[in-house]
């Protein structure tokens, strides 16, 4: 009975140690470090511009993806650089986007 308990404890300890053993390659040369995995570039969608609201000529906010934002705030990694009556300028890294609101209802 005591031998069975020791083997159960031994198996439990071994199962706890296996994930850490799998993280290193026992056959690799001493001091070897595996190259880091390249990071996957995830595509982040450009926010949808729902509306531009202006209290005055220099005081505008934008509604992006249903939420209100002011100049300088960020959404999904895009920084809002400028908001005027006609467009919202977003910046991400070294790229720049200008979002405009189009009126889809044409009155004839």
50 CB-near residues (< 8 Å, 6+ apart):
63, 64, 65, 66, 101
In percent, the amount of the chain with pLDDT more than 90 equals: 44
What is the pLDDT averaged over residues 23-33?
Answer: 75
Other residues' Cβ atoms within 10 Å of the Cβ of residue 90: 25
| Digit-coded pLDDT (tens) for 46-74 | 999 999 999 987 899 999 999 999 999 99
Q: Where are the domains of the chain?
A: 49-100
């Amino acid at each position: 009975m005591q031998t069975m308990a020791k083997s159960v404890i031994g198996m439990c300890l071994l199962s706890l140690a296996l994930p850490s053993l799998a993280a290193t390659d026992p056959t690799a040369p001493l001091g070897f470090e595996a190259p880091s995995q390249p990071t996957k570039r995830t595509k982040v969608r450009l926010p949808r511009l729902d509306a531009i609201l202006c209290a005055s000529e220099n005081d505008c906010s934008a509604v992006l993806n249903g939420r209100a934002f002011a100049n300088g705030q960020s959404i999904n990694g895009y920084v809002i650089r400028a908001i005027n009556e006609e467009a919202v300028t977003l910046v991400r890294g070294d790229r720049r986007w200008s979002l405009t609101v189009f009126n889809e209802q044409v009155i004839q």
